[in-house]
């Protein structure tokens, strides 16, 4: 039986083949074996690849050294399981110290078989430091997540061949021993390219362009102006949250729009989204996405947050924005105005909210004293305050790096030590507070510290209407939301603890009581003692507030629909309206 001379049906091998071609890599030295049959046969069936054979893997690796050094091109070497890959080590060591771009693809049976006395299965999970710059293991592709993982890892491996002077890279490729070679065309794969200041920069086409900033170090004036000039010349907008630390002209705190369940974010989706900064805790705004993502970071690493990454620019943000700022271009801000109009429309329609973290943010955010700093606890506190702007001069932070509840107050205290004449605020939930409360007894705590404690007696995040645990209802309190700990919303526990530590203590259990104390908490004057304001809420109000603020768009559309009905009724009259309805039903 003569086999069709097409490609293997194994998806992970297809991704490798497609990306090798997209990145212009054609030279291959293949060694015989069973686990690498699918990829070698597929290469053999494609005249694009320039193939060579070597029985001895040790020799194959050294042949690749000579071929790469002489041609200046990347070279692929392919071998099977058992100890075949071990014989690559001397040649790859040579390549490592000479910075030769050799891509070692070691095929294997399913990685899950490692350690179970399966013949010819060895553990390649750890390699020596000086045989490859990078080592990745591909999944056997069973779904879209596996396919994404595979595309990212293969792009990452290929790009590493020439990065920072170049060198060898290792891909561990599991096979299912498929005998099917019915794939006539390789799949369209996402190519990721890395751009450095010495490369030719890709063109940025006209259309909606946006910058998305995750958690970011403090920006100086020059950094901010570089972004502003870029936006002005490209009619771009900057999507931020309170950890972004960009306060320029094109800033849009878009979480209120992005969270709307009835709002179609695709209507204003950018063609190109420039991604800078690190991890974002603004889950709603991550849905903005872009048809194409350009990541800018000096680390040059592939961070495919939005799963649409096209370029990674390994350079400073200033170099990038300056390079794409069009000279002699009139300032434009139409996209900015569209986004601001959407935002303002929702702000103007925010209804009365229940007593909750979100309601507190609506009352306090704009009144945080000028020139102060505010830290937010992760999830509920950060999300709640991301709906509302704060004064321009107020700096913000949140522990979104490790994204845990531990250490929120400690980070706040540490920051407050920098400037004893500046106010430092913290907004934190009860579980995170009790997790880290010992730092409040630190003898370095100063009178410039102010903590807003939202005490709902549990991890209220797990009781939100839209959370995966919501369907458990009250049962979630037992072990998922961890309710009832730390005094179970005791009115005395935190009061005595903080007062004994020298804090000024205030509390509120409902809106009227809060109105009586919060202005004292927000006073711009340095007080004699640090402060703690404990606000007691409940999870049902917290959840209801989030549901209300996430459905303002639905409310607006409902009002428009009702107004339209009333207008038609007024024009036609009741009798004519009923006649019109009957006619419409017939059709």
With both helix axes pointing from N to C terminus, report the angle between 539-549 and 357-364 in degrees, rounded to the nearest 10.
60
**What per-residue confidence (pLDDT) applies to 559?**
56
* Strand locations in 277-390 (E): 292-296, 309-313, 373-376
Residues of the chain with pLDDT under 50: 1-2, 561, 564, 567, 587
Rounded CA separation 290/472 (Å): 35
Tokens 């939301």 identify what position? Answer: 481
Cα of 111 vs its chain's centroid, Å: 29
CA–CA dist 166, 163 (Å, integer): 5
The pLDDT value given to residue 165: 96
Q: Where are the beta strands (DSSP E) in 345-432?
A: 373-376, 395-398, 424-429
Q: Which of 285, 203, 202, 283 lies closest to 238 in space, CA to CA? A: 285
Q: What is residue 566's predicted lDDT score, i.e. its pLDDT?
A: 57
pLDDT of residue 206: 74
Structure tokens at 586: 């017939």
The torsion of the CA quartet 289, 294, 297, 298, rounded to 10 degrees, works out to 170
Sheet with 27-30, edge to edge strand ranges? 50-53, 27-30, 75-79, 102-108, 169-174, 134-137
**pLDDT score, position 466:** 93
Helix (H, G, I), strand (E, B) or coil at 131: coil
| Fold matches, 11-180 and 357-548 | yes
CB atoms within 10 A of CB 248: 18
Give the predicted TM-score (pTM) of the model.
Answer: 0.90
Give the pLDDT confidence of 271-294 residue by residue, as tens digits: 999 999 999 999 999 999 999 999
Q: How far apart are CA 292 and CA 286, in angstroms?
A: 14
DSSP 8-state class, residue 326: P
The span from the CA of 120 to the CA of 506, in Å, is 69
Structure tokens at 287: 């849905």
Of 467, 395, 405, give the one whose Cα is nearest residue 430.
Answer: 405
To the nearest 10°, the Cα dihedral for 264, 269, 275, 279? 0
Nearest to 406 by CA among 426, 384, 378, 383: 378
Residue boundaries of the structural domains of the chain = 11-180, 209-347, 357-548, 552-586
DSSP for 457-470? Answer: SS-GGGGSTTSTTG
Q: What tokens appear for 459 in the block?
A: 């991890």
The C-alpha atoms of residue 585 and residue 214 are separated, in whole angstroms, by 52
- pLDDT per residue over 513-533, tens digit each? 999 999 999 999 999 999 999
CATH superfamily placement of domain 357-548 = Thiamin diphosphate (ThDP)-binding fold, Pyr/PP domains (3.40.50.970)
pLDDT at position 574 is 65
> Could you give the CA distance from residue 398 to residue 414 in angstroms, rounded to a whole number?
13
pLDDT of residue 265: 81
For the stretch 479-499, pLDDT in tens is: 999 999 999 999 999 999 999
Beta strands in 231-288 (DSSP E): 236-240, 251-253, 272-276
The CATH number given to 209-347 is: 3.40.50.1220
Integer angstrom CA distances of residue 468 from 100, 342, 462, 464, 503 = 49, 29, 8, 9, 38
CA angle 367, 368, 371 (to 5 degrees): 125
Residue 307 CA to residue 292 CA, distance in Å, equals 9
Confidence at residue 94, expressed as pLDDT on a 0 to 100 scale: 98
What's the rounded Cα separation, in Å, for the pair 86 and 124? Answer: 9
Task: Return the CATH class of domain 11-180.
Answer: alpha beta
């Amino acid at each position: 039986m003569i086999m069709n001379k097409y490609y293997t049906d194994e998806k992970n091998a297809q991704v490798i083949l497609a990306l090798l071609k997209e990145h212009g890599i054609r030279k291959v030295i293949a060694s015989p074996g069973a686990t690498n049959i699918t990829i070698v046969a597929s290469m053999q069936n494609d005249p694009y690849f320039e193939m060579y054979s070597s029985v001895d893997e040790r020799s194959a690796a050294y042949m690749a050294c000579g071929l790469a050094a002489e041609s200046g091109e990347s070279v692929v070497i392919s071998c099977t399981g058992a100890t075949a890959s071990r014989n690559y080590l001397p040649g790859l060591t040579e390549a490592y110290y000479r910075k030769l771009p050799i891509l070692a693809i070691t095929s294997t049976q399913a990685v899950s078989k490692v350690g179970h006395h399966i013949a010819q299965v060895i553990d390649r999970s750890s390699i020596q430091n000086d045989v490859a710059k990078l080592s990745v293991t591909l999944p056997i592709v069973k779904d879209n997540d596996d396919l994404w993982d595979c595309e990212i890892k293969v792009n990452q491996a290929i790009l590493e061949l020439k990065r920072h002077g170049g060198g060898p890279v290792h891909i561990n490729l599991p096979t299912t021993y498929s005998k099917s070679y019915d794939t006539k065309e390789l799949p369209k794969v996402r190519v990721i390219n890395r751009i450095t200041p010495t490369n030719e920069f890709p063109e940025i086409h006209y259309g909606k362009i946006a910058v998305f900033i995750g958690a970011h170090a403090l920006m100086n004036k020059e950094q901010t102006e570089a972004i502003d000039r870029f936006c002005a010349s490209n009619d771009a907008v900057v999507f931020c949250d309170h950890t972004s630390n960009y306060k320029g002209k094109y800033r849009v705190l878009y979480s209120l729009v992005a969270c709307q369940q009835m709002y179609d974010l695709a209507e204003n989706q950018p063609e190109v989204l420039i991604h800078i900064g690190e991890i974002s805790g603004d889950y709603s705004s991550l849905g903005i996405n872009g048809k194409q993502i350009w990541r800018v970071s000096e680390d040059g690493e592939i961070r495919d947050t939005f799963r649409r990454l096209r370029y990674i620019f390994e350079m400073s943000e200033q170099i990038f924005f300056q390079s794409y700022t069009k000279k002699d271009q009139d300032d434009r801000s139409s996209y900015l105005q569209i986004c601001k109009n959407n935002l303002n429309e929702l702000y103007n329609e925010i209804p009365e909210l229940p007593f909750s973290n979100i309601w507190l943010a609506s009352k306090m955010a704009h009144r945080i004293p000028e020139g102060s700093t505010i830290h937010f606890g992760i999830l509920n506190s950060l999300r709640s305050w991301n709906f509302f702007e704060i004064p321009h001069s107020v700096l913000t932070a949140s522990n979104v790096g490790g994204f845990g509840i531990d250490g929120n107050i400690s980070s706040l205290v540490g920051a407050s030590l920098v400037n004893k004449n500046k106010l430092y605020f913290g907004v934190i939930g009860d579980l995170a507070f009790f997790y880290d409360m010992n730092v409040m007894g630190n003898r370095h705590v100063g009178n410039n510290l102010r903590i807003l404690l939202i005490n709902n007696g549990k991890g209220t995040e797990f009781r939100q209407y839209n959370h995966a645990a919501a369907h458990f209802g009250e049962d979630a309190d037992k072990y998922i939301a961890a309710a009832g700990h730390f005094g179970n919303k005791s009115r005395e526990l935190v009061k005595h603890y903080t007062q004994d530590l020298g804090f000024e203590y205030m509390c509120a259990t409902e809106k009227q009581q809060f109105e009586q104390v919060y202005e004292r908490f927000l006073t711009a004057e340095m007080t004699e003692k640090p402060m703690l304001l404990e606000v007691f809420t409940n999870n049902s109000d917290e959840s209801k507030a989030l549901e209300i603020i996430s459905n303002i768009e639905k409310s607006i559309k409902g009002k428009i629909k009702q107004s339209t009905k009333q207008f038609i009724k007024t024009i036609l009259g009741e009798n004519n309206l009923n006649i019109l309805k009957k006619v419409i039903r017939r059709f």
